[in-house]
Amino acid sequence: MQYRTLGRTGVQVSSLALGAMNFGAIGRTTQDEATALVDAALEGGINLIDTADMYSGGESEEMVGKAIAGRRDDIVLATKATMPMGDERNHQGSSRRWLVTALDDSLRRLGVDHVDLYQIHRWDPSTSDEETLSALTDLQRAGKIRYFGSSTFPAYRIVQAQWAAREHHLSRYATEQPSYSILQRGIESHVLPVTEEYGLGVLVWSPLASGWLSGAVREGREITTSRSTFMPERFDTAIPSNRARLEAVERLAKVADEAGLTMIQLALGFVTAHPAVTSALIGPRTLDHLHSQLAAADTVLSADVLDAIDAIVAPGTDLAAHEKYDTPPALLDPSLRRR
């Protein structure tokens, strides 16, 4: 396992990190299975575990808390807030009112007195940067969080938040957590240059592109990945963007074969090769999934392999741009762009 410094925090984290989104109802995993995944991840050298309050309605945090009991200090523990937690309209967002409550709820579920990294799950356009940053700074000074970060923020919002922290003399976001894979490279043109400029640690999610790069999706095979069962439109090869992904996967599989690599090693080796990336979040549901992904922990792709990937999916290109999560709200909601 490789270890890298998380931004400018001085904290050393593994180049692969365990994402716990599949713990609980979402991944249909039991507590025993979740604990076995944590045990194997730690044995494999992973020292960063990432979850969120909304994963399975809080169940993921509870499972993580039980799995790490007795070894909390050996783990860099991260969680997230802002996504809706129930039907109450104020149980979401990044207001001071909600973040203070949400963090206490997360600490209770995790069974800890602090988290190492607290992340704003999505940018909340209805809340000012000053409001959010001042709340996070106070929570940091209270000892409940060590650092805080953003997740899936557009590049211009990352910049704006850095300026707001400076203007109001507040602590700043130390990390960003964007989606990044061989098939979705758009952040190379805007987000990653910004994170490098401001010295942010970068924890990338979906490096296997929701299973497209797992090796299980190939031409002529029925697609039976877990994600395809509840998001079938993302795997319908009659849709042009999905067809483009499948064609890219077939070409990438040849590159992997010629390099003596699995598709997973190619995919994880690619995202961790970028100098702006600190860690890639893997989200296994089973021990077999975890072991196949841990096999990529020391993968270093040659320049020839990286060039071959660039020839298939050009730098800065998203093959499924409509699946981006950092699109400005006015592009999604007509009422926000019309008088």
Active site residues: 55
- Name the DSSP class of 215: S
Pick from 246, 214, 244: which is nearest to 227 by CA? 214
What is the b/e burial string over 184-207, where b = at least 16 CB atoms within 10 angstroms of the residue's CB? bbbbbeebbebbeebebbbbbbbb
Evaluate whether 285 touches 22 at the Cβ level (below 8 Å): yes
Pick from 226, 203, 204, 202: which is nearest to 214 by CA? 226
Rounded CA-CA distance 248/262 in Å is 15
Rounded CA-CA distance 172/169 in Å is 9
Please tell me the total number of residues recorded for the chain in this structure: 339
Beta strand 12-14 with 3-5 is antiparallel
Beta strand 115-120 with 76-81 is parallel
Say how many CA atoms lie within 13 Å of 106 toward its Cβ. 28
Tokens coding 226: 């877990």
